[in-house]
Each structure stands twice: as structure tokens, then as C-alpha cells.
Amino acid sequence: MRLKQKLADKFLNLTMDVCVIPSAVVTQAIAAAGSDAVIIDQEHGAIGREALHAMIAATAGTDCAPLVRVVDCSASHVKYALDLGAEGIVFPLVKTAEDVRECVRTLRYPPNGVRGWGPFIAHSRWQTPLMEYLPEHGDNIVCCLLLETAEAVENIEEILTVEGVDFVVIAQFDLSVNLGVPGQLAHPTFVAAVEKLETAVLASGIPLSIGPVQSEQQAKQLLDKGYRILAGFDVLRLKASVASMADWVKGS
């Protein structure tokens, strides 16, 4: 598990891909291509339990961290993903500092949290003896928050004071919907919300992420603003590649 270490290096920029396609082959290809992390999406993706395990396992042998975006922040969903070998959890729809404290507790074993012990599958993913999983990896689980609600914008300063948050993602589309301006990323209400989040997160020193990033120019602009983790989406990359090929062959 190296993602927490990478995130702690403030001079290191990272890439990440959200996987909504239930395919170990897709995940393995992304990991092998050099992505620092994949977010296996059980909140919006068509990914069941068996596919989840296969996709986590497909990152083995690479430097790509398998993270799971859970359906909700309940301890049962978090425990299952971690026990299948996830290196971290992406928490959706957090609204308050208390929400975040509860999220962090689901990642940690007692006495500091509520995670039940049972890494019968995870220990093999991390090539460690079963009884060594907790001492070797228990403190290396990554906590990511999705900033996607008006309440999170309002409470962002307090949210960022919670110990245990490794990075945050501004979820543009969800946030625009929650603010009542769906898909209108240039709307003043949305722009103001993003600016407030950016200012608070960058001041906190917690790594900031956003996606989808669809061009080198866009990537440079975001990195210049202080973003450190830029994300893509497997299905959007696939569609864009196919559309480009069609354009090359058929013309416009």
C-alpha cells in the first residue's frame, strides 16, 4: 500500500480513473498503463460483489491503488470492500464534520474505529500473512471524500479539520445537480461553490482532485491551480476513443 505515502508528498501529482465498467480486464489495463489509483464505482457503476473482487485483484503487480466508491457510508459496505482487498474508500455525499468522523471510524479497527476483523481475502491481495494484515496495513487505508453537496460547501472548513482524511474530490456533476443547476458548470452558483471549496482545501494542505479531465490543456490549468490528482472515467475514455476512430475513418 503506497497511495497514502504518495499523497503525503506535496510535490507529487497523481492520476486516477473511475471504473464503472464491471471488468477486471478494463481495470487491469488502466492499472498497467500507469494510473496511480482506480476508483471502482459501486455507487453508480454496474459492479456487483464478484466483479468488485476481480477488479481489486486485477491491480496486483502494479503500482495502482484499488479504491472503492461505496454505495453509502455504512460500516457494512466499507468493511466488505476493505476485506476484499481495497486500499481505500471513497465516501459519497458527506455533509458535515460528524459525517466525516463516522467515515474515518469505519476504516479503523478498534479501539480507534468500528471495522470488524476478517481480511481473509485482503491478506492475499497484499501478499502478507493473515495475522500480519492488521499491523502491516491497518493504518495505511486511504480515506477520500466526495464534495458534492451544498451542505459540504457550507461546512467545508470544519470538514477539513477532521483527522484522517487523505484527499478530497470535487464531484462536479453531482454538485451541480445538488445546487439546482445540473450540468451548468459555468453557472455563477456553481462557480462560486467550487471556488469556495478550492480555497478551503488548498489552504488545508489536503490533496485536491477533480474529473473528468479531457485534454492536456485542461490538465495543465488544473495543476497550475493546485489540484494534485486528476481523474478520468473508463466509459468516457472508451467512448471518446471510439468516436475519434469513427471520425478518422468516416470524416465529418
For residue 140, give every residue at least 6 positions away whose Cβ sits within 8 Å of its Cβ, in sequence order, or none. 1, 4, 87
CA-based angle 201:202:206, to the nearest 5? 65
- Taking the chain, what is the end-to-end CA distance rounded to the nearest angstrom? 47
CA-based angle 43:46:48, to the nearest 5? 85
- What stretch of H or E contains 95? none
Cis peptide bond N-terminal to 212, omega within 30: yes
Catalytic residues: 44
C-alpha span between 50 and 69 (Å, rounded):
16
C-alpha span between 197 and 217 (Å, rounded):
22
For the stretch 129-144, what's the b/e string if a residue is b when 16 or more beta carbons lie within 10 angstroms of its beta carbon? eeeebeeebbeebbbb
Beta-bridge mates of residue 136: none
Amino acid at 165: V
